[in-house]
Structure 1
Amino acid sequence: MDALGVVVNPIAGMGGRVGLKGTDGNVAEARRRGAEPRAPDRARTALSALRRRQPDCTVYTAATVMGEYAAREAGYEPEVVYEPGAASADEEPADGPDAATDAVDPADPGTSAEDTRAAVRAFLDHDVDLVLFVGGDGTAVDVADVLEADGGETPMLGVPAGVKIYSSVFGVTPADAGRIAAEFERVEDREVNDIDEAAYREGEVRSELKAIVPVPVAPDVQSGKQVASGSVDSLASGFAREIDPDRTYVFGPGSTVGAIESELGIDPSPLGVDVWREGEVLARDASESEILAVLAEPATIVVSPIGGQGFIFGRGNHQISPAVIDRADEIEVVASGDKLDGIGALRVDTDDEGVDEELRGWQQVRTGRFTTRLVKVV
């Protein structure tokens, strides 16, 4: 690869730990709740992995937090071909003042989706071999729109930074994305999907196919989220029978964990995190800080892998942060056998490499009333 276009959505994923399940239209609220940017660090990780393999690659990017800073921190001297805020004189940036300054707060960058699209158009003017973007499904849609309008021949690859990752165009981790960008030799068509965040916050998933785009072929490009088949009734019943009344339980999102909560008489928040002890819901649809405020030891975190991707932490449950994981002395992973058959391995991506390393290894997964299976966390 000779030339790469890099664009970063600096606010991607900010809503996760504070319980917003996404940042679209909610940047001000995320900041009010104390959300911290995660996309810039993930961009730097991906580009550092790229530079170890392709130090002479020409990197085209947008100014400041939309790519320039991360590229320089990774050791590149990028060519800045777009200034945020210059996309349209008619469109007011969605998230604040003009970001084209020497010191830009990633949490308040003053950029919009149109800045992302305009940056990608600038990359195409320079005949890049790949567009590497940092964000979530919304950013993927913005990039795909431009690439399809240009004929759809330039491939794209995502560095996962958003709360919701339903598209099959992302590297499994930021480092994987950087490695794939450096080493890929062919591409295949993959789906770009997005969901309605307003409905998602209310517990309803409305997924829509937005585009079909070429993506580098590699084992570490994740599949799209899939719905697993098979009943979880016996699993939920078995788990509920073994509840320890002296423990605090942190129940992650998803229908499998929700079935356990229902068995316990809890009205689950399907896409949120609930905290429960001794028959009482201590926090419902909780943010990281709300979980930590009520979390008493001993504590058990109950999670189920995202179907098709295998993530038990770092996708859709950012509220269960490294701080929450450190406070718990037990992690229970639950999944139907059908779901595990389609995964192969479990994955973690907590933004804390030390915590990720501690979680890696063999994990016992409850698959039924009495049955378990050992699955490796990689």
Structure 2
Amino acid sequence: MFRLGLIVNPLAGVGGSVGLKGSDGEATALKALALGAEPKANLRTQQALEPLAGLEIELITYPGEMGEDSARIAGFKPRVIGTITAGHTCAEDTERAAREMAKQGVDLILFAGGDGTARNICHAIGDATPVLGIPAGVKIHSGVYAVTPKAAGDVVAMLVRGELVTLADQEVRDIDEEAFRAGRVRAKYYGELLVPEEGRFLQHVKNGGREVEELVLDDIAADFTENMQDNVRYIMGSGSTVQAIMDHLGLDNTLLGVDLIENGQLIGSDLTAQQLLELTDGYDTRLVITVIGGQGHIIGRGNQQLSVELLKRIGRENIMVVATKSKIKELEGRPLIVDSGDAELNHQLAGLIRIVTGYRDAILYRVADY
């Protein structure tokens, strides 16, 4: 029987919807909760466990919100080890859980979190035991995560069924959250973890070193501004391509946040999920987003302020994707990815989507349904 370890960082990603750019540290997590953020890591874990229903698995996990709750909701009868202080889990709990599961001889540790969680597990066990991440954090630069929670479950299911899946070392990277909140990305290498590698389902390390193509960005910005409509509110997502549009308009921009504009004026900066819902309620609204270089995500990485409710209200036809062709070529044919946290919405957003790649220049590119 396949022995699966399960670890959940229950507060992973809690800062995303309220614009905090991360959730590392108890103080940040508490601030996010005080601002009205709702933890989603356990829900994403349940989504990852769904493809494993009915398979021969012994699931070993930590108590309560660190895995037991999600496992039981998903229909498993887990073997629970270790102890926690409910409502006050921390990095040390994650590291202790990883060490204990490795000693138990699990075949794989499935964990939910972000880059900070990956760092903890790397520090605790290195590459001694295969692991796979369920993406639940705000910032995910590491290559140890599946592209979506369901994709994580699909990879584990392949392993349980005995299908051929390559094991490979993948980088663990994390950034300085304080610098990130100030609009600077400083990613650092922390080691490697042994990960089941299935090309369709495994996230690539985020590419942060690509040369900015200033002329192409100017063309994209010119095309966008020429086609802007009056009395329409535009949600401007994060990233340098969207920043080029804001620069073209002469407006202040939150590089790693979400802004709102109308009629050439800035309505709100670095908005939370709730603020976006309130400021677009009753207004004709468009969403402008770009592609994460090297990974292909357009929803679910660094823009958790774009809630499921907001995306459903806006509708697929009002989502505008902008990206340089070089950024698309970096994907080497891999599809774009939507990881909204809602399987129905992911399915609705799948298919071919138009991407503005220059002045009066656009391509059609596939969005996957993982």
Verify same fold: TM over 0.5: yes
**Match 1:169 to one of 137, 141, 144:** 144
Query: Equivalents in 2 of 1:326, 1:212: separation in Å?
Result: 38
Q: Report the equivalent of 2:162.
A: none
Deviation at 1:23, TM superposition (A): 1.2
Q: Report the equivalent of 2:186.
A: 206
Cα displacement string for residues 47-99 of structure 1 (whole angstroms, at most 9, x for unaligned residues): 221234xx222111101110111112222221112111xxxxxxxxxxxxx21
> After the TM superposition, which residues 281-300 of structure 1 pair with which residues of structure 2 at under 5 Å, given as runs?
281-295=266-280, 296-300=282-286
Query: Equivalents in 2 of 1:288, 1:77: separation in Å?
Result: 35
Q: Report the equivalent of 1:317.
A: 303
Q: Report the equivalent of 1:82.
A: 82
- Percent of pairs identical after alignment? 40
Query: Equivalents in 1 of 2:156, 2:350: separation in Å?
Result: 25
Q: Report the equivalent of 2:244.
A: 259
Q: Report the equivalent of 1:304.
A: 290
Query: Letter of the aligned partner of 1:166 in structure 2?
Result: H
Cα displacement string for residues 298-337 of structure 1 (whole angstroms, at most 9, x for unaligned residues): 2110000111111111111011112222332511100000
**Match 2:336 to one of 334, 340, 346:** 346
Structure 1 residue runs of 5 or longer lacking an equivalent are: 85-97, 100-108
Query: Equivalents in 2 of 1:80, 1:361: separation in Å?
Result: 41
Query: Equivalents in 2 of 1:2, 1:336: separation in Å?
Result: 44
Name whichever of 238-247 and 157-166 sits farther off: 238-247
> After the TM superposition, which residues 269-288 of structure 1 pair with which residues of structure 2 at under 5 Å, given as runs?
269-288=254-273
Q: Report the equivalent of 1:133.
A: 111
RMSD: 1.4
Query: Equivalents in 2 of 1:362, 1:116: separation in Å?
Result: 39
Query: Letter of the aligned partner of 2:142 in structure 1?
Result: S
Query: Equivalents in 2 of 1:226, 1:43: separation in Å?
Result: 26
Q: Report the equivalent of 1:93.
A: none
Query: Equivalents in 2 of 1:158, 1:319: separation in Å?
Result: 22
Query: Letter of the aligned partner of 1:136 in structure 2?
Result: G
Q: Report the equivalent of 1:156.
A: 131
Query: Equivalents in 2 of 1:292, 1:3: separation in Å?
Result: 43
> After the TM superposition, which residues 1-378 of structure 1 pair with which residues of structure 2 at under 5 Å, given as runs?
2-25=2-25, 26-52=28-54, 55-84=55-84, 98-99=85-86, 109-148=87-126, 152-184=127-159, 185-219=165-199, 220-227=201-208, 228-229=210-211, 230-231=213-214, 232-295=217-280, 296-328=282-314, 330-343=318-331, 344=333, 345-378=335-368
Deviation at 1:155, TM superposition (A): 1.2
Cα displacement string for residues 14-39 of structure 1 (whole angstroms, at most 9, x for unaligned residues): 11111111111311111111111100
Query: Equivalents in 1 of 2:49, 2:313: separation in Å?
Result: 32
Query: Letter of the aligned partner of 2:278 in structure 1?
Result: A
Deviation at 1:131, TM superposition (A): 1.1
Cα displacement string for residues 200-232 of structure 1 (whole angstroms, at most 9, x for unaligned residues): 111111100111121101021010111344332
Query: Equivalents in 1 of 2:2, 2:311: separation in Å?
Result: 41
Query: Equivalents in 1 of 2:337, 2:120: separation in Å?
Result: 27
Query: Equivalents in 2 of 1:322, 1:124: separation in Å?
Result: 36
Q: How many residues align?
A: 351
Structure 2 residue runs of 5 or longer lacking an equivalent are: 160-164
Query: Equivalents in 2 of 1:257, 1:176: separation in Å?
Result: 28
Query: Letter of the aligned partner of 2:79 in structure 1?
Result: E
Q: Do 1:297 and 1:327's aligned partners in 2 also have CA atoms closer than 8 Å?
A: no
TM-score, length of structure 2 as denominator length: 0.92
Moved over 4 A (4+): none
TM-score, length of structure 1 as denominator length: 0.90
Deviation at 1:182, TM superposition (A): 2.6
Query: Equivalents in 1 of 2:125, 2:71: separation in Å?
Result: 22
Query: Equivalents in 2 of 1:212, 1:259: separation in Å?
Result: 34
Equivalent position SS for 1:82: coil
